[in-house]
Amino acid sequence: MTSARDILIQFETESDAPAIEKVTSAAFMNAEHTDHNEQFIVRALREANQLSISLVAEDKVTNTVVGHVAISPVKISTGGSLLIERALTALQSHNTAGCVVLGNPKYYTRFGFKTVLSLQLAGVPPEYFMTLTWHEPTPTGMVSYHKAFEAKT
């Protein structure tokens, strides 16, 4: 089993794209509330130059990508917490107001994400759409994603 000290967190490179698609597809294979197109969304966001932060967790022993986060709804079991913490820190350093995530509340609440009923994503059960803000007030309204989130291939 890979330990945290065997994981290298770094910004994605062009050559990481195929491994990112594979690990993203595997992460969502059995997930509920998904169209199972997350790997296509990440690709479309990358191609549209819309990935603000994209980090990979690489196993230092095997030199393989074992996790990925792009401030997107990606569930990662190995190195995931470290990836998300680093990505949130990077987001803060870019002077953003906060971050939204669509995912499992049991996982994302550990990072401070909360369901805010006044901030919604259409068609999504409110408990799966959460926000983390760096300062008050918390935004309100309907969230819309970049058109890359409609990617099907």
Q: Which residue ranges make up each domain of the chain?
A: 4-150
What is the pTM assigned to this prediction? 0.58
Question: What pLDDT, in 10s, does the model give residues 64-116?
Answer: 999 998 875 444 455 778 889 999 999 998 888 899 999 999 989 999 999 99
Pairing relation of β-strands 55-59 and 64-69? Answer: antiparallel
Domain formed by 4-150, architecture: 3-Layer(aba) Sandwich (3.40)
- Find how far residue 97's CA is from the centre of its chain: 17
* Euclidean distance between CA atoms 60 and 126, whole angstroms: 38
Give Cβ neighbours of residue 150 (< 8 Å, ≥ 6 apart): none
